[in-house]
Structure 1
Amino acid sequence: MVAAWRAMPDEREAQGGLRKYDEVSPITASREEIEQAVQDADLPALLAALAMITADETLIADDLRPPTPPMGASIKGQGGMSDEAQAKARSLAVRAIVAYRDRGSPSPEVPDAAWLNRIMRFMTKDAGDDYLPLLSSELGLPRDMGAPDWRKEDLAPGRDFSVAVIGAGLSGVAAAHRLSQSGVSFTVFERSEDVGGVWWANRYPGCRLDTPNFAYSLSFAQRQDWPQQFSRQSEIQSYIAEVTRLAHLRPHIRFGVEVTGLTWDEAAAVWRLSIREADGSRSERRFNAVISAVGQLSQPSIPEIEGLDGFKGRWFHSAQWPADIDVKGKRVAVIGAGASAYQIVPSIVDEVDALRVFQRNPPWMLPTPTYHDDIKPGMAWLLRHIPYYGRWFRFWQFWIAAEGRLPSVQVEKDWKHPVSVGRANERLRQECMAHLEAQLTDRPDLLEKLTPNYPPGAKRMLRDNGVWTAALKRPHAQLITEPLARIEGDAIVTADGERHEVDVIVFATGFLASDYLHPMKVIGREGRDLHEWWAGDCRAYLGVVIPGFPNLFMSCGPNTGVVVNGSAIFSAECAVKYATSAIGEMLAKGYSAIDCRMEPFEAFNRRVDAENLTKSWGVATVSSWYRNAAGRASQTWPFSLLEYWRVTQSADMGDFVLTKAG
């Protein structure tokens, strides 16, 4: 194997075992084999990777620059490059790869920042100087840009200071890694048996990503050998487990241990954590700071239905799919038509005797023909052999989603339409409708039921390769839009009085996404109960810190969800960056407690609320986990990715009430 990462002189920047993700194999393929592989390539990323390792300016000439048209319902292949540009790009790429092979596939050095910036500008149509730091951070070159620039042993060598991280999903692993890099003592508490968070818990049939996989990976652990662009649950969970192993985080994680409560001890300036051990016993631990990484989608939401307790069959939530359940030959009801139902239904339709899908609101679906496809063989070969190709491919996916469909969900005050909220939103609606209508020319009854009456973007938009409508067309499947009334014995009774006899009920009804930190009891300064103070309307400054709750940081907190222009991994890493910056300031300046002031908290929330009302999810009345019980968009980040990255890069101590240690 050829290690593609050049060793850095400063060991604080070393990635240790995580360098594995940059390893590639020497090239021994013939020119013909290389030409065949390049036919499957994602060309903009390949040109960038080859330009980086060869310093060949012809690879990033202006006539090869991807135009990257605005994103509609689908994304233009190859960034919208013309056929002529694609042919030239392939010819140049083959020439560069053959030359690299003939030089013995040497391990390249990371070029200087000026050349990296030039390549990034080529891919991004000359992104401004304000964007380049963010883009460099996502690329992760010439070093891990998100790593803390401090070490505890340098800032406060004699001070006892420890951090609790709650949750070992992707955001918890990110927090643990950054704390490990900074030399701060930490413990991760995970109530499950292994790492992964939602990717450990959700094991229902068909569970997989609906965000491109390369973009849905940690910036400091950029895996290159994903088998698919939208990977299955098992692949993602295995990736998270591998990262914890390679980064030596596993010894810091306590599995099967649940944090049930947090209480701020003002006199000692520590958080007292109430712990329930795996054997049911209880204990208490004390930490100077806490990073909550419990996420939004961890507490299943099960509707109250009269008679459910008396159901004669089996029922469960999709996130609690029993290992021993066999639906073969059964009459199965799936309640819900959101992301999990959308994956479950096509996966079990050929096994069950009868399938009843109970839908409240149909989803908007984005045409994605390759949703279930494996990475093409040539593309997979290039990822195994071209240094940094995986990084540039991840970078490319990040960039085309950076603004993404954000313009398509913009409210235009002069636009009058019964469904859409603006001209771009209407174009998106029409594209999605054309895709749906093409699948249902033979089933006008299903088309009527599957046509949303709310604007695109108001709810989670789903990836569609045709399997959803194909499943619902099956003769033993039925889509039911009548509201549920009650359950009687072995039947679900709808509002029209019809009985639907079933053996199994699957609740694909989502999560209590608005109930952040639930069910933990969190008591802050002066005995303030966080959930009582929130009163169902969860808010935080930058989605990370809350007045009256010192030294408590949240990842994936209120109003941090980038729902049409990025992934949860991005916002999670931003929150972790902010938290570790704040902890560094505490150590450097001798603070025992930092408590967010009310003024910046209120100003931030006013600004976010106002901007959310300019987006389809902020004005639509359709039920959605984007909004809380009060109807406020409490999950979504309405601004650009650049804006969230910028405000979370360092904690401004002017935003806090500061308490000196001892």
Structure 2
Amino acid sequence: MTSTTPVPPLATGDGRHDGFPPVREDDAFLEQAVSEAELPALLAALALVTGDTALLEDGVKPPLPPMDSTIAPQGGMSAAAQQRARELAVGALKAFRDGGSVPAPDPGPELLGAVMRFVTKDAGDEYLPLLRHELGLAGDLGAPTWHKDDTAPATPFSVAVIGAGISGLAAAHRLQQAGVDHVVFDKNPEVGGTWWENVYPGCRLDTPNFAYSYSFAQKPDWPDQFSRRQQIEDYLRDVATDFGLRPHIRFDTEVLAASWDEAEHLWTLTTRTGDEPPATSRFHAVVSAVGQLNLPNIPDIPGRDTFAGRWFHSSRWDPAVDVTGLRVAVVGTGASAYQIVPSVVGAVAGLTVFQRNAPWMLPTPGYHRETPPGMHWLLRHVPHYGRCYRFWQFWLASEGRLPFVEADPEWTEEGSTSARNAELRRQLLGHLRAQVADRPDLLAKMTPTYPPGAKRMTRDNGVWAAALKQPHVDLVTEAVTSIVPEGIVTADGVLHEVDLVVYATGFRASDYLEPMTVTGRDGVDLHESWDGDARAHMGVTVPGFPNLFLLMGPNTGVVVNGSSLFMAECATEYVLECLGELLRRRAQSLEPTREATDAFCAWVDEGNLRRAWGVADVHTWYRNRHGRASQVWPYSLVEFHRRTRRPDLSAFTVRGGGEETS
């Protein structure tokens, strides 16, 4: 199935996608397209397009069984329900075509409510604000509730944003909407952050791609089910251009230091652009958008720098290196290794993979698949389908596998943390055994010894096991003890001779804001204050560091539910409400109290200790060197969304404006 129809543009927050061509195809074409569709989202979209809630029959409402090792196809609909859904969808498409492809007026609250209840299996009222925000048909509900020209037109106020990745672009867009002067600094020559930096072979999302997009910049034409790196980078470039963000960005400019001036109530940033001498500039507030996974973790192995061949970290992959015919070592078996190894195995002369802990693998047969042609056609021709499909993917992941990574203090079965976690383990082991039943040696090495969810799980469509089975591939589980000019030496005394070493060893996730020097009130150094244990109120603000806001800060990473874009958007909207409070009050600074921050962190710690990653005895980037899970959000998405709608000023000290409150 092919089509030469032009692809519609990004949605621009006006409540609907523009540019949808009319439906002219015959009945057979429509039936074929619908056979490849995601039905719950399609019925929801067609109900919006036609204004006909009769399409949302109880018999085709997706039952949404709990997610375990897999996601039930079509939301768990029976074969009979799927057939009825296709009949309804084809009939609605024919009527839409025959009526001139004229969509119904923008839906009112009653129709929107019916659609959301259908897709979510009657979610409770507590979810409605979140659901409206993510669907986006009632307008851009994440936009600031204020504008500087109305709130404080005569008050000078400027904001520095550090980083032009997913968080930084969200911040720049919201600041622009609020009419706040701002400058975005990025050390790279282009936007994208991690998606600009990571160019290793096979790099792609492990989150369904529609869910990995802004609510205010929805895209209906993703070509893959899990987007490749270049597709995400292109999307972020388009957002920067289409929303007019580029004039505010200073590329090739690294922020070296940020220092708070208590007398002037200003932040001084020291920056360096290219080879120029360092320069300084001053701002009323600073928003850090440097992310969590941007500082490479390169292991300090004895003799590392004596290696005679090439070596680099996976996030610093050199595209000029041709691996064809080389003997390659990949150190690590986490997410990046999981993508690199299958991508290079066919070109190298030899591949040695060094593993400390085997990854748990989630069955994902469609991980490398393109969007089916019929589905792609529907996304380009049916108004609202892209929004509804993004909403559907978001809802499926909103709670995700949280129930399956619970830690039951009474549970004693080895290798799991609760009855549900044990069931997830059994399912995943069955999936693994089916792939390597003919290789008992590999099965023993590839079987994790820790509970599922204690470390990041990888998406598996069979290519990892297939790569490790190749005759020129060796999976080594002996510890690496040293590196010599010829290669890598392991604890059993074996020298593994290689030409290229790739460190797929993850990131220093707990070292927030490094290598910047950040100095707050009374000359306190942020990194010395944290001492490797980053803490922030709501993951966003820090006591003693006024008007400093962190996006993707401590305890805001999601690892089994949702996506980082959702968390970045929520935090950005929270920051804008904090800035609005400052301007409304003509205040000079805002920061959380130590008591409120300690209480928040204690609550998050309590939640993390009820998750597999909080109790399992395994090395994971979820926890810092003190053993505390300082990176991960343990609760539901709706809880984070609710808490970030507006700041609780009782948790803050607000100074200036003729008063001080706390």
What TM-score comes out, normalization by structure 1 length? 0.97
Q: Check whether the contact 1:18–1:221 (CA below 8 A) recurs between aligned residues.
A: no
Among 195, 205, 209, which residue is 2:205 paired with? Answer: 209
Matched, 1:652 2:648: yes
What does residue 406 of structure 1 align with?
402
Matched with 1:440 is 436
CA contact (8 A) 2:7 2:380 kept: no
* Alignment equivalent of 1:192, drawn from 179, 188, 192: 188
Which residue of the partner structure matches residue 97 of structure 1?
A: 93
Q: Which residue of 2 aligns with 1:520?
A: 516
Alignment CA distance shift 1:188-1:587 (3 Å): same
The residue number in structure 2 matching 1:529 is: 525
2:8 and 2:487 mapped to 1: Cα distance?
A: 60
- Find out whether 1:370 has 2:366 as its counterpart: yes
Q: 1:108 to 1:245 in 2, by over 3 A?
A: farther
Paired residues of 2:481 and 2:491 also in contact (CA < 8 A): yes
Q: Which residue is 1:308 aligned to?
A: 304
* Pairs within 5 Å for 1:512-591: 512-591=508-587
Given the alignment of the two structures, is residue 509 of structure 1 paired with residue 505 of structure 2, yes or no? yes
For residues 244-323 of structure 1, what are the structure 2 equivalents within 5 Å?
244-323=240-319
Q: 2: distance between equivalents of 1:541 and 1:582?
A: 13
Which deviations, in whole Å up to 9, do the C-alpha atoms of 1:107-165 show, x marking residues without a partner? 44321112101110111111111111100001112101100111100001111111011
> In structure 1, what is the Cα distance between the partners aligned to 2:8 and 2:516?
44
Q: What's the counterpart of residue 142 of structure 1?
A: 138
- Hey, what does 1:424 align to over in structure 2? 420
Q: Distance in 1 between matches of 2:224 and 2:14?
A: 21
User: How far apart, in 1, do the equivalents of 2:509 and 2:44 lie?
Assistant: 39
Q: What does the per-residue CA deviation read over 1:526-573, in whole Å, with 9 as the maximum and x for residues that have no partner? A: 111000000000010000000000000000000011110111111111
Q: Which residue of 2 aligns with 1:222?
A: 218
Corresponding residue number in structure 2 for 1:164: 160
- The answer to whether the aligner puts 1:494 opposite 2:490 as a matched pair is yes
State the Cα distance separating 1:653 from its structure 2 match. 2.0
Q: Tell me the distance in 2 between the aligned counterparts of 1:2 and 1:190.
A: 33
Distance in 2 (CA, whole Å) between partners of 1:426 and 1:572 is: 32
CA distance in structure 1 between the aligned counterparts of 2:442 and 2:527, rounded to whole angstroms? 42
Change (3 A) 1:22 1:362: farther
Question: Cα distance 1:4–1:137, how it changes in 2: closer, same or farther (>3 A)?
Answer: farther
Q: Name the residue aligned to 1:125.
A: 121
SS at match of 2:192: coil
| Residues 489, 20 of structure 1: alpha-carbon distance in 2 compared, 3 angstrom cutoff | farther
Bigger mean CA deviation after superposition, 21-30 or 361-370? 21-30
Q: Structure 2: how far apart are the matches of 1:332 and 1:571?
A: 37
Q: Take 2:19 and 2:38, find their aligned partners in 1: how far apart are those partners? A: 20
Read off the aligned partner of 1:395 and give its amino acid letter. F
Contact 2:328 2:352 in 1 (8 A): yes
Q: CA deviation at 1:598?
A: 1.0
1:20–1:325 Cα change, 3 Å:
farther
C-alpha contact 1:337 1:357 (8 A) present in aligned 2: yes
State the distance in 2 between where 1:21 and 1:572 align: 23
> What is the DSSP-based 3-state SS (H/G/I as helix, E as strand, rest coil) of the residue aligned with 1:291?
strand
Q: Is the 8 A contact 1:4 1:387 kept in 2?
A: no
Structure 1 unpaired stretches of 5+: 6-13
Alignment pair present for 1:608 and 2:582: no
SS at match of 2:70: coil
Residue matched to 1:11: none
Measure how far apart 1:458 and its partner are: 0.4
Q: In 2, are the aligned partners of 1:17 and 1:246 still within 8 Å (CA)?
A: no
**1:626 pairs with 2:635:** no
- Letter of the aligned partner of 1:161 in structure 2? F
Alignment of 1:10-159 (within 5 A): 22-159=18-155
- Does the alignment pair 1:485 with 2:493? no
One-letter amino acid matched to 1:142:
A
RMSD (Å) for aligned C-alpha atoms? 1.6
**How many positions carry a matched residue from both structures?**
654
Contact 2:31 2:90 in 1 (8 A): yes
**Residue identity opposite 1:190 in structure 2:** D
Q: For 1:471, which of 467, 470, 477 is the aligned residue?
A: 467
* 1:70-102 deviation line (CA, Å, top 9, x unaligned): 001000000000111111110110110111111
Q: Distance in 1 between matches of 2:236 and 2:17?
A: 13
Give distance in 1, aligned partners of 2:382 and 2:287.
38
One-letter code aligned to 1:541: H
Give the 3-state SS of the residue equivalent to 2:614 in structure 1. helix
Mean Cα deviation higher: 299-308 or 274-283: 274-283
* Cα offsets for 1:630-662 (capped at 9, x unmatched): 111111111111100000111122221111248
Distance 2:37 2:17 in 1: 19
Residue 360 of structure 1: CA displacement? 0.3
Paired residue secondary structure (2:250): strand
- Check whether the contact 2:16–2:137 (CA below 8 A) recurs between aligned residues: no
Instruction: Report what 2:389 is aligned to.
Output: 393
Distance 1:147 1:548, change over 3 A: same
* TM superposition shift of 1:3: 12
Distance 1:87 1:501 in 2: 58
Residue in structure 1 matched with residue 169 of structure 2 by the alignment: 173
For residues 270-296 of structure 1, give each alpha carbon's deviation from its aligned partner in whole angstroms, at most 9, with x where no partner exists: 110010112232100101011100000
TM (norm. structure 2) is 0.97
The answer to whether the 8 A contact 1:23-1:387 is kept is: no
Q: Secondary structure at the match of 1:560?
A: coil
For 1:490 and 1:147, locate their aligned partners in 2 and report how far apart those are by CA, in whole Å: 57
Q: Are the aligned partners of 1:27 and 1:385 in contact in 2 as well (CA < 8 Å)?
A: yes
- From the superposition, tell whether residues 18 and 62 of structure 1 become closer, same or farther in structure 2 (CA, over 3 Å): closer
Task: Determine the C-alpha separation between the residues in 2 that align with 1:127 and 1:17.
Answer: 24
Q: Distance in 2 between matches of 1:108 and 1:388?
A: 11
The secondary structure found in structure 2 opposite 1:334 is strand
Letter in 2 for 1:400: L
d(CA) in 2 for partners of 1:48, 1:441: 43
Amino acid at match of 2:538: L
Deviation at 1:2, TM superposition (A): 11
- Specify the SS of the correspondent of 1:130: helix
Kept in 1: contact 2:13–2:136 (CA 8 A): no
Q: Matched residues, percent identical?
A: 56
- Kept after mapping to 1: 8 A contact 2:7/2:221: no
Residue in 2 that maps onto 1:9: none
In 1: Cα distance, 2:384 partner to 2:170 partner? 21
The residue type paired with residue 515 of structure 2 is: P
Q: 1:18 to 1:140 in 2, by over 3 A?
A: closer
Q: Distance in 2 between matches of 1:108 and 1:543?
A: 42
Q: Deviations over 1:609-646 (max 9, x none)?
A: 01110100000111111010111111111111110000
Query: What are the ranges of 5 or more consecutive residues in structure 2 without an aligned counterpart?
Result: none
CA contact (8 A) 1:17 1:247 kept: no
Gap change, CA 1:20 and 1:252, over 3 Å in 2: farther
SS for the counterpart of 1:591 is coil
- Aligned mates of 1:15, 1:434 — CA distance in 2: 42
Query: Is residue 13–residue 216 contact of structure 2 (8 Å, CA) maintained in 1?
Result: no
